[in-house]
Chains A and B, each alone.
Chain A
Amino acid sequence: MQVTAPAIRALRSPQARRLRLGLLFVSPWIIGYCVFYLYPFLATLYYSFTSFTGIGNPQFTGLANYRGLFHDSMFRTAVFNTFYYTVIEVPFSTVAALGLALLLNMNVRGQAIYRTLFYIPSIVPVVASSLIFVWIFQPSFGIVNSLLSDVHVNGPAWFFSITWSKPTFILLGLWGLGQPMVIYLAALQGVPKELYEVAELEGASPWQRLRRVTIPMISPVILFNLIMSLVLSIQYFTQAQVIENPPGSPGDSTMFYVTYYYQQAFQFLHLGYASAMAFLLFIGVIIVTVVLLRTSSRWVYYENDQR
């Protein structure tokens, strides 16, 4: 191949040199991205149009998997359960984490001790915290129902009740809100003190200071946390898998989206069907993220607005 003089010059230009150096440093990630993200993602999209059991070649079936999902009542149940969990857990944990962070930020003595106490549940291994909650909410001998019976209330079966299983999982989720709380606290401590002094001089009430100073100043962090917690709760899986046996019980009330996906993929080996579920999950996550980012221009404030 003949290489022309301008091409050599272009390759040797400082610009090209910088590009090569940059790519060299990030090359581990570029390889990783192609092998562990891009290829499997595209393959999932392809499998979603096929019938595939993992052995032999995928058989192209067009939109059959998607049509199947449309008529699958268990799929609808899984979507509903996940929606239920997300719509309640995310707002509650966001408000509670922010509230606790605000409380701790009010020059409280022993702030570090409280922060540690609130954070510890988030580092308890998920399997351990699941076991603890199963025991606490154990229908006949658990401490919650024992204490309830002291005040003559017949406690429900919690994790093993069709009505109460999801709320109990939400309580388990709320126990781990120390992580966002610590992030909010750090953000609150980064708000310049002068802003509050000015607001106070102008006669702003505490509520106004919160609404007009605090929330706008930490809004980028709130947006980031909201996106991450939404994306995580849409994929809710581990705790339900550990606690419920068989997964999804009682009466499909804890059949979450990924629980059903996992069952289809690794129990029934309906890899094409599961791939279609995965791709719809991707679409869902994208929609949620885009909607949040779109509305964010109305409530997220960037200090040095360059975006």
Chain B
Amino acid sequence: MPTAPTREITVQTPPSPQRRRRRRPHAIANGLGKHTALIAVSAMFALPLVWMVGTSFKTAQQALVFPVVWWPHPFVWRNYPDLFAALPYFRFFLNTFIYAAVTIVGVCASSSLVAYGFSRLRWPGRDTLFYLMLMTMILPFACTLIPLFVMYKRFGWIGTYLPLEVPTFFGSSVFSTFLLRQFFMTIPTSLSEAARIDGANEFYIFSRIILPLAKPALASVILFQFVYCWNDYLGPLVYISDANSYPLSLGLSLILGDYTTNWAWVMAGATAATAPIVILFFLTQRTFIQGITLTGQKG
């Protein structure tokens, strides 16, 4: 049941009052141990981010002070406006957004069609083709990169986002197709049967019945695709050469070479790239986790 919030699954039957009383000292010690371990691990996961944000509000000199200063003093905002003035950050931001928007359209359109064909229709050879599609997930990108580059060069696409955008309209996001297929499989077949008896054609069933039901799964696909574009470094590295066309990830990597003497700046750049995606994650956490859960199921 993918639509159920994952939280509900964790509910466990509470121990009977008797057992709880008997176990109390042991249980407290046990709980304390668990939380100590979890808090220690949490600290290891969180500290790099805390340190990143902290450094971004320091002066260049203060970032290098020894021994370590945890709380910026003085607290400076200047790194951010300075950074945005030095780098076309908003340009990078806009480039990333356009890249994400176009590929989201491509992925939603093609992956939902393909996923439908792989889940709600029965035809000879379906499962063979489906496994072939899954196998492309383990095909190293290096195995196709050079001929693709040569081909795109002939098309005149190098320097544009087309090499990264066009394939998404042809089901290149296997992950999204897989996620949608897993979701489509959970919708009762009786729904389609009823519509077929009423004389609906398959495309009508797909677009008017199944797709509206798949909104939660589509939301996950949109989110993952957005995060993918936001993170994508390799694709733009290969195909985009003009710094004005850089997406955020590639633009951010410029900062390391140029400003390594000013770590407060570098961390301001890292924070500016991280904060939007982390905020997005907090706002959409359930959709995120459901999507991961859906693909984690065996099918």
Contact = CB atoms under 8 A, between A and B. Distances in A.
Given A108-B38, A281-B142, A123 B45 contact: no
B72 to A, nearest CB: 14
A132 interface: yes
A54 interface: yes
Contacts of B227: 123
A186 B10 CA distance: 9
A274 interface: yes
13 contacts: A26-B129, A28-B114, A29-B110, A35-B170, A36-B170, A120-B49, A120-B281, A121-B48, A130-B253, A193-B13, A275-B146, A278-B143, A278-B145
B51 A44 contact: no
Contacts of B269: 128, 131
Contacts of A128: 52, 252, 269-271, 273-274
Interface in B55-112: 55, 63-64, 66-68, 110
A288 B75 CA distance: 51
A78 to B, nearest CB: 12
A281 B142 CA distance: 8
B257 interface: yes
Given A123-B281, A189-B6, A221-B298, A36 B144 contact: yes
Nearest to B41: A100
Interface string B140-158: 1111111111110100000
Nearest to B295: A183
Contacts of A129: 48
Interface residues of B, number: 100
Contacts of B161: none
Interface of B: 6-7, 9-10, 12-13, 31, 34-35, 37-38, 41-42, 45-46, 48-49, 51-52, 55, 63-64, 66-68, 110, 113-114, 116-118, 121-126, 129, 132-133, 136-151, 153, 167, 169-172, 177, 202, 206, 227, 230-231, 233-234, 237-238, 248-250, 252-253, 255-257, 263, 266-267, 269-271, 273-274, 277-278, 281-282, 285, 289, 292-293, 295-298
The interface centre, meaning the residue of A26, A35, A37, A190 with most chain B CB atoms within 10 A of its CB, is A26
A203 interface: no
A4 to B, nearest CB: 22
B128 to A, nearest CB: 12
A25 B146 contact: no
Contacts of A243: 256
Interface in A244-288: 245, 258, 261, 265-266, 271, 274-275, 277-279, 281-282, 285
Contact of B267 (A23, A121, A125, A135): A135
Contact of B7 (A32, A105, A112): A112
Given A124-B277, A132-B270, A237 B234 contact: yes
Nearest to B110: A28
A258 B244 CA distance: 27
Interface string A106-131: 11110110111111110111111111
Contact of A132 (B38, B237, B267): B267
Contacts of A100: 41
Contacts of A22: 117, 121-123, 125-126
A54 B52 contact: no
Contacts of B138: 227-228, 231, 285, 289
A168 interface: no
B114 A29 contact: yes
A158 B132 CA distance: 42
A170 interface: no
